[in-house]
Structures are given as structure tokens and as C-alpha cells.
Structure 1
């Protein structure tokens, strides 16, 4: 049987929780879906070694007290099942859920760029390292190099050091002038300025990026370019992330307009599809503060409370200003496109190398000839890398959007999947 809700929210990070709390007083039947065990998203991810901020704990508690809001944790969207109908799966079952209004709060993922040795055991994303540590990974006395771009590098460093790791280098690819200019403007957002001072590190270097991860069976050292010099640093782990990429696959499948890798929304956080809204980092990376206010606006707009939503526009403009400065300061250096060598693996699922891809003109041709993007991640990692490396447009994700049980697919009637 198909279940029905008045308002469906996909994603229980800051934006999704804020949207649900804003819309709940109207008394609508609301469902919140998230693939994590507990609400909070990636930024407020829980785990045995995680410190979840009080704000996140308070929002979770508020959601639990609402009789008209149900949070489906560990739940994934498998396919579209017709107009305003989705096929879902969690650990216990698969089912079809229909809705009147939808708010997409699908967040973002790390941008991973291939370089020699990036598939060695011990190499992860910068955010990936944070998630592993929060989940219980021991890093006591391990030497760690963190490289890539953006404030996430400093946050990952702080998490690692808190759990006993020795961070030997933080390599930020942005130049000193850009980072200094960004820092000088943080007086407009005092909490961010305090955070930057708190996360500061003596091993932080600008105009620096990884050249190669070295080792035979696992990571043993990292070769890093710092300015005009090259250094090799012995280490047990490398955490490397080049910013974030909005998760727009479900939005694209629903027909929502996407521009510059983000869902296009208007002042009310409404997408190009009627009754479909979007908020948070799927509309562009800007941090938890921007995600929270966008979520509240989307939740209020979705229930028709536009006067209340309008009152939050000024706060959104303030945090959008921070996001704009952040994204400008940490824009990727074109030189990063040259890190991969001909024999560097780009598609890890199907073991497709850079030389196998470079001769093709677009993603579709490359996929037909090499099987890139046909593994478990369905191209989420390698197509994003190919977009940066070759300028290829990302592919349209096809159902099933995630691996699913046959019993879940059997919930669909013939012709349901679109």
C-alpha cells in the first residue's frame, strides 16, 4: 500500500530539521527522511566519539516531541514511483510514499580529485576522516596530513588532534592573499571569526596541495607542493577534500532546474517544479547557519506562511554574504586538474584510469567505452572528478538511485518507475 503525507522533507541535517520545526505548528502530517542513523546531517553527525552541539540536540528533542512529525532514519530514496510518489527503503522494509509538498534538503558531499596514490589504504576525504573518527576510528599517535581546500580542513584537523593524532601538515590550495582577505572580513560574522581563531594551526600552509600519496600496500608518506618547494611527509593517514558538491541527483530526477551544480530556488526557496522546495547545501554551500535559515524559510513557505518567511530574508542575506566570500576565497586552482597521471585511477569502482577517459569527449561516451560510473557509487565520485578534470557535464542519475533489495523493487507496479 502507498502511504501518504502532507509534507515530505528529504534530509535531516540543519536545513531539514529547521524546515520540519517551522512547518509543524500548522498540524500537517510530516515525514522526514534521512540515510543517517540520527538527525543532524554530516555537519552534526553523531557517533561514539562525536560531540554533537547543543543546538542539534535541542532540535532533535523538539522533533521527537511532535506527534505530527515522523523521522525515518536510515532511509533512502530508491526511485520515483510516479507524480509525487517515491519508492523508499530502510533496514526493515521498502514502501511507496506519496506527498503533497516536498522540501529537498539533500546536503552536499566532498569533492574528491584523483592524484597518484589516492586509492591507497589510509587515504580518505577530509570530511570522511571526521566521520570515521566520530564513528570510533582510533587515531591516537597517528601522523596525519590534511590537504585540499576550505574551512573543513581546519575542522578535520581539530577533530583528529582532539583524539590524539599528530597533524603534520594542513595544505590549503588557495593562495595566502585569498585566505587573508577572507579572514579579514570575518568581523561581519563574529562567531565565525572566533571559530577561525580557535581552529588555527601552526602547520597550516597556503598555496599548497598534494602531489602524490606514497606507499606500497598502504599509505606511508605524502608528497606535497608548498609554494615552489616540494616536501615529503611521513604519515599514516591523508585526508584530502577539495570543497563540497551539492547533492542534486534527486532534484534533477524530479525535474527541478539545476545551475552551477546547485538546485535553483527563488526567494521562497521554491524550485522550478510546483510544490517542490529546496534548502541547505543542495542549493549551494554556505554552512550550517545559512542552511538553518533557508530551512525555516522553506518550511514556512511550504505551509503558506509567507509573511513569517519574509521576516527571515535579511538573516539569509547576511549568511549568503558569508557563503559568497567563502566560495570566492577558496575557488579551486586550475592546476589541480593536472594532478592525475595517465595511470591514475579515476573511477575506483570499475578501475578506470585517466588515460582511458581523456580521449573521450563527454561522460556518456566515456561510460559506454570504459564502464566508468557503473559501480556502486553510480558515478557520484568519478563524474564529479571528471567534471573538474575535463569539463564534462554530470550524468543524470537513473533509478534505482541506490542499491536496493528485490523486495523493495517489488513494491512498484508495472510502469511506476520514471
Structure 2
């Protein structure tokens, strides 16, 4: 086996698993690395084994697809074609004259450094949620929509008894449905998207009939649970002392502003909120890969502009599990061919390429429909915390722009420390850019995540 080319796949979600199966089937050794204890990613997140779930498939999507992926992964691991490093967090990928070295640390304690040498690297690092701030969003009981879903899938737990699910994006439907099925009283699903946007783009949305059927299924289940749906509404504020007690929501006008007099207060102890997703591009940035907007740029084979580096899944643009599977399949086959010194057979990717093209067009349309309200910054008061790590308020950001001449997010960061905390601006970056009136741009860092100084000190110790 050691004479086969070696591919390091970073990320064990749908794209990473599909890439691993395709690459091993076409002659590569693969090391699959992921920061979660089990493969599957967010979409196929599994309950912790110690919970001994009797019906783990209940809170999950496309269980049969997951069973096929899980079975294929177990087979290639058993046969020695793939090695899995779970609960390892990749903090850097070094490019050398003879290939790449992937550096990772085990678990949240960041112990047991490991270095994986590979001939090529495939980035399947997925995406992360965007949450735009509003008064009260830091109260205990306010969680991200994806966080609520992860808690339900991975821990079979919920954060409260009465919830409001709010924001914008297709993720809100399965989150609200999952909470309702778990016994939570979902007081309201608050979606800021304007229904007229769906009507205007109906021909483009018709390219995704399966997704329309899936959405209709969620809507039917919400109706059975008597969940009130408020479209073209937004959360104005969250209220409480020690924890969340209620939220105020209001209708939006055609320009995306709150319509005066439409505010209503809804009692709840949980608010699951999200405003879309952004691609994880940190590792791509450290490698010098070109970005297309806020995602990694790739060609028809999912190759980046850095030789020996592929990218697949939501790191190349948010598009859901089916698109991630198609891209992972194409990337794995391309890597297998290129690292063995041959060109991929175009017939190998005909069907995945068609799926990719159709879903990319579909999700580009969805992204336009589910854009956050145009004037969401009007809701951010001067005392609203924007950067939670450094406790920077909306007023401080506005002062940096208005009085100190900051014209971009980087200057705001230097003047206010917004984005200098543990998350390195991943949570507050969109909010800071919005308040500063500038475009959100990815930042390139030498490391993809914080790393202990002792690990860095040992990197180049003399033997």
C-alpha cells in the first residue's frame, strides 16, 4: 500500500467522505482528518456512542445515504486503503518541495500533535453560520440554528421547552421541524425572506424539484405541530435578565426596514437564530489558494490554483449535502488520476458534473432569495455587543468609522479590537463589515486556529 500516492482529506462531511471513497477506489491511499469525534459532518452528525440511542436515524436526514457512506468508509479503512484521524483539529498545512505536511492536534485539549505527509491535499472543510447581532443576542438561551440542530443530533438534547426559530435561510425549516418533533413547543418560525422573491425566481427554483418537495414536507410537519410561520419578519430584540425570556419580532417593508407598529412579543426560553452560511477558507488561505468572493475558487476538476490542492463541498460555496457529494466525488477521482500521473477520464464525472451544475445554479438563486434584511444594521443599538470575544459594541464600531476615519474592517479591528479574540472574527466579521459599510473580505492567517506556543516551539527542534 505504501507505494500508492497519498492524499490527505481534511473534513469528514459528505464531500470529504465522497472524495475518500472515490480516491481509494482509483488507487490512492487516503488519510481522512476531522475535528469531530465521528465522521459525518454537521449534516450526518451522530449521537454520542455513550448515549446508546435506540433510533439514531430519527433526527437525521437521508439516513440510507449515510449508511452507504458509513459502510464504504468502514470497508476502505478495514482494507487499509484509508486511515481516519477523528477529533484531530488541523491548524496548518505546509507546502514543501516534495508534497504537503498537515499539522493537527487532538481534541479540545490540543494534545498529541500529529504531522501527516501527503502528495496532495483535498480541502473539504465545510462552512459555518452567520449570525447578525441585535439587542439581547448574547443572552443565555440564544443559540445558532445550526447549534440547536447539532445539540439535537449529537446529544439528543434541546436547550429549552419553548423556542422561536428565526433568521433566514433553508436551514431554519429542518431546525424548527426537528425541535418540534423532539417535543419542544416551537412558538414561531420567523423568516425574513420576502415571499415575492420566490415568485420572481420561480423558473430558476424549478431546477431543484427535489428540494421543493423536501421544503413542502417540512412545511407539512410544521403545520401538524401547529407552528406559526411569520414570513418577511425579523427579530428586533431578545429580552431577559439572567437568561432569555422573550423576543420581539416585527414585519419588514419592501426595503427591508421594520414596519412601525408591527412589533409583537413572544415568550420563549430558546431562540435558534441564523442568517445563512459562509465557507471555511482558513486553510485555503494559508496555502495561498485563490478565492472567488468568499469561497475557494476551483476548476471543473475541483482543483484550486495551487498544484496538488483540491477543494470540494461548502468551502467552494454553500450548496447543501447533495452538491457536496457530487463535488467530493469529482475531486477524489481527479486527485487519484493527477497524483498517479494520468488525466481523468471525462466519462467518470459526467453525472456528478451535471448534478453539480444544476445544484450550483439552484443554490445561487436561493442565496439571492435568502439574503438578510437590507437594513439589519438599523437594529444594532450603540450598546449592542458586536464582537463577543473582545466585548466591542456597535457604538464603538460606528465611532471608529465616523470619528476615526476607519474605512474597512481591518482598520476597525485595529482601532477597536473587534475580531482579535478567540474566533478571529468568524462570528463578528459580517457584522463589523456591515456596520462599517464595507464588503466582507476573507482574512489570511498563518494558522487556521489558535495553537499552544509549546507546539510551535517543538516544530523545528533539533533531533
TM-score, normalised relative to structure 1: 0.92
User: How far 1:29 sits from its partner (Å)?
Assistant: 1.6
- Given that 1:364 and 1:395 are in contact with CA atoms closer than 8 Å, whether structure 2 keeps it comes out as no
Rounded Cα–Cα distance in structure 2 between residues aligned with 1:330 and 1:38: 31
Residue 421 (structure 2) pairs with residue 375 (structure 1): yes
| Structure 2 SS opposite 1:271 | coil
Residue 65 (structure 2) pairs with residue 55 (structure 1): yes
Rounded Cα–Cα distance in structure 2 between residues aligned with 1:106 and 1:192: 23
Q: 1:74 aligns with which of 87, 93, 105?
A: 87
Rounded Cα–Cα distance in structure 1 between residues aligned with 2:350 and 2:214: 29
Rounded Cα–Cα distance in structure 1 between residues aligned with 2:237 and 2:263: 11
Rounded Cα–Cα distance in structure 1 between residues aligned with 2:429 and 2:160: 36
| Structure 1 SS opposite 2:36 | coil
Tell me which moved more, 87-96 or 243-252.
Answer: 87-96
User: How far 1:318 sits from its partner (Å)?
Assistant: 1.8
Residue 186 (structure 2) pairs with residue 161 (structure 1): no
The answer for the alignment partner of 1:238 in structure 2 is 271
| Structure 2 SS opposite 1:144 | strand
Q: Name the CA shift for 1:18/1:355 in 2 (closer, same or farther; >3 Å).
A: same
Is the radius of gyration larger for structure 1 or structure 2? Answer: 2
Segments of 4+ in structure 1 off by > 6 A?
none
| Structure 2 SS opposite 1:372 | coil
TM-score, normalised relative to structure 2: 0.83
Tell me which moved more, 404-413 or 356-365.
Answer: 404-413
Consecutive unaligned residues of structure 1, counting only runs of 5 or more, are none
1:296-311 aligned at under 5 Å gives the runs 296-304=329-337, 305-307=344-346, 308-311=348-351
- Given that 2:95 and 2:287 are in contact with CA atoms closer than 8 Å, whether structure 1 keeps it comes out as no
User: How far 1:182 sits from its partner (Å)?
Assistant: 5.7
User: How far 1:249 sits from its partner (Å)?
Assistant: 1.2
Q: Name the CA shift for 1:99/1:13 in 2 (closer, same or farther; >3 Å).
A: same
Tell me which moved more, 285-294 or 390-399.
Answer: 390-399
Q: How many residues align?
A: 412
CA RMSD of aligned residues (A): 2.3
- Given that 1:105 and 1:278 are in contact with CA atoms closer than 8 Å, whether structure 2 keeps it comes out as yes
Q: 1:363 aligns with which of 405, 409, 418?
A: 409
User: How far 1:57 sits from its partner (Å)?
Assistant: 2.5
Tell me which moved more, 80-89 or 9-18.
Answer: 80-89
Rounded Cα–Cα distance in structure 2 between residues aligned with 1:163 and 1:376: 33
Q: Name the CA shift for 1:364/1:315 in 2 (closer, same or farther; >3 Å).
A: closer
Consecutive unaligned residues of structure 2, counting only runs of 5 or more, are 253-258, 338-343, 401-405
- Given that 2:91 and 2:448 are in contact with CA atoms closer than 8 Å, whether structure 1 keeps it comes out as yes
Rounded Cα–Cα distance in structure 2 between residues aligned with 1:68 and 1:137: 33
- Given that 2:141 and 2:160 are in contact with CA atoms closer than 8 Å, whether structure 1 keeps it comes out as no
Q: Name the CA shift for 1:411/1:141 in 2 (closer, same or farther; >3 Å).
A: closer
